[in-house]
Amino acid sequence: MVANSKVANTQPKRLSIGIIGGGIGGVALAVALSRDSQLDVQLFEAAPQFSEIGAGVSFGPNAVKAIQRLGLEAPYQRIADSSPAPFEDVWFEWRRGSDDTYLTASLAPGVGQSSVHRADFLDAIVANLPEGIAHFGKLCIGVQQDADSATASFDDGSHFKGDVIIGFDGIKSAVRPHVLPPEQYGEITPFWSGTYAYRGMIPTRDLEAALKAKGSEKRLALVPQMYLGKDRHILTFPVKQSQLVNVVGFITDRSLPNPKLPEGEKWVQAVSQEEMLKVFAGWSPACQAILECIPEPTRWALHELPELARYQRDRVLIVGDAAHALLPHQGAGAGQALEDAYVLASLLTDEHCDRQTVGGVFAAFEQVRHARTCKVQRTSHEAGDVYEYADVGIGDDETKLIKNLETRFGWLWNHDPYHDVVAAWQYISQF
């Protein structure tokens, strides 16, 4: 299909689709589309193989619903962790980081904290991808289209020509400039949020012992926790069938309205434990116990995208982080990518979607997804301010903080992406 030359897709299929990017979103979309024998689906990944980092990812009820609707529930449930009894409905417990005082819990009835090890999840969905669809070492460097087709070019000199191209290629997307040409929309680049995230994984037994040694409750290891403080917070939740605890400690510089990452600094780098401990000096015994169990943390400069004016240009569409990369404070980015994948797969596998109508289908997708994904971007940024006692209306007023934490996730979680599919077809039927 793909060689070091221009390749036209000659199969007599209803639609030929090129997906750029084989992360969680791109693979989930490819799996769902590949079930329709009338579609020719090709997935292009820059890396030499599918790969995810060894960290945890947490899913809200809306993301779990998208996973079910994508037909991936069985592989997901085989590897997913949840909050232990009697805390099954707890998404996170919230505590004051200075002394571990319990503030409240955010409850997600029936789902609680549903989380997985990223690499395990990617492996689990990749297992559902038919042979021959994925192509590796395919770094997309640009996209073009004409009235009848769209073409992606790769850095090895090869091309893919199909009916449509879908950019699922993450925050640094190479497809995005085609959808939003810089001449018209200006240069769109990810910006640093001012937040660094220190990440690590701890064997659960080690963390339980460390908590006990500090006089803290052992159960803090397995029940998901958020420890809050001025310009900082720490989260923990279990992964790998509770054998490991995923930890992220955040610090935010709010001294400038538009903080800039020092010139040449890498987005992700290994740092010393000493640096991380210094950031959280004076925090509670439980927090010290957690951080002391991470000898080799990595530090991530968290970037996000501005809300984009559009996601679609005729035969080319961007989705997932390529379209709406956001801060991880509501555990929602991968969930939005999975909602995108489900809605898009439902529209493209409908027999009414073909070479002639697909541009309108993409426009309908943008119409139903844009407001929600932008709101998730906005509220994810705002959540960081709330957790770090920096929200303009809440500050360090813990009564207001508690009320916010108990209610802020309802609109995000109580969403069935099936309704987006229905709304998209209603939109299409108007034309």
Q: How far is CA 263 from the centre of its chain?
A: 26
Q: Which is nearer to ligand FAD, 332 or 363 (CB)?
A: 332
Give the active site residue among 14, 96, 199, 299: 199
Q: What would you measure as the largest C-alpha separation in the chain, in angstroms?
A: 68
Query: How many CA atoms lie within 13 Å of 153's alpha carbon, on the beta-carbon side?
Result: 8
81 binds ligand FAD (CB under 6 A): no
- The residue from 170, 200, 229, 417 that contacts ligand FAD (CB under 6 A) is 170
Q: Which helix (H) or strand (E) holds 386?
A: helix 358-387
Task: Establish whether 199 is a catalytic residue.
Answer: yes
Q: Please, which residue, 23 or 112, has the CB nearer to ligand FAD?
A: 23
Cβ-based neighbours of 382, under 8 Å, separated by 6 or more: 391
Which residue is nearest to ligand FAD, using beta carbons? 23
- Minimum distance from CB of 23 to ligand FAD (Å)? 2
Question: Which residue number, 389 or 413, has a Cβ lying nearer to ligand FAD?
Answer: 413
Provide the 10 A C-beta neighbour count for residue 333: 26
- At position 112, the amino acid (one-letter code) is G
- The 3-state DSSP class for residue 186 equals coil
Give the whole-angstrom CA distance, residue 267 versus residue 196.
9
Q: Is 268 in the site for ligand FAD (CB under 6 A)?
A: no
Q: Which residues face 330 on adjacent strands?
A: none
Of residues 29, 40, 119, 125, the one with CA closest to residue 77: 125
Q: Does 345 bind ligand FAD (CB under 6 A)?
A: no
* CB closer to ligand FAD, 136 vs 352: 136
In the complex, the smallest distance separating the C-beta of residue 422 from ligand FAD, rounded to whole angstroms, is 24
**32 touches ligand FAD (CB under 6 A):** no
For position 332 contacting ligand FAD by CB under 6 A, the verdict is yes
Terminus-to-terminus CA distance in the chain, angstroms?
35
Scanning 35-43, 272-280, 288-296, 326-334 for contacts with ligand FAD by CB under 6 A, the matching segment is 326-334
Nearer to ligand FAD, 20 or 428 (CB): 20
What is the nearest approach in angstroms of ligand FAD to the Cβ of residue 215? 30
Radius of gyration of the CA atoms of the chain, in A:
22
**Residue placing its CB nearer to ligand FAD in the complex, 67 or 211:** 67
How far apart, in whole angstroms, are the C-alpha atoms of residue 311 and residue 370? 8
Whether 33 contacts 133, CB under 8 Å: no
383 binds ligand FAD (CB under 6 A): no
Determine the interface stretch with ligand FAD among 20-28, 30-38, 83-91, 181-189 (rule: CB under 6 A).
20-28
3-state secondary structure of 308: coil
Chain residues binding ligand FAD by CB under 6 A are: 20-26, 44-47, 57-58, 138-140, 168-170, 172, 174, 197, 248, 300, 302, 320-321, 328, 331-335, 337
List residues with catalytic annotation.
199
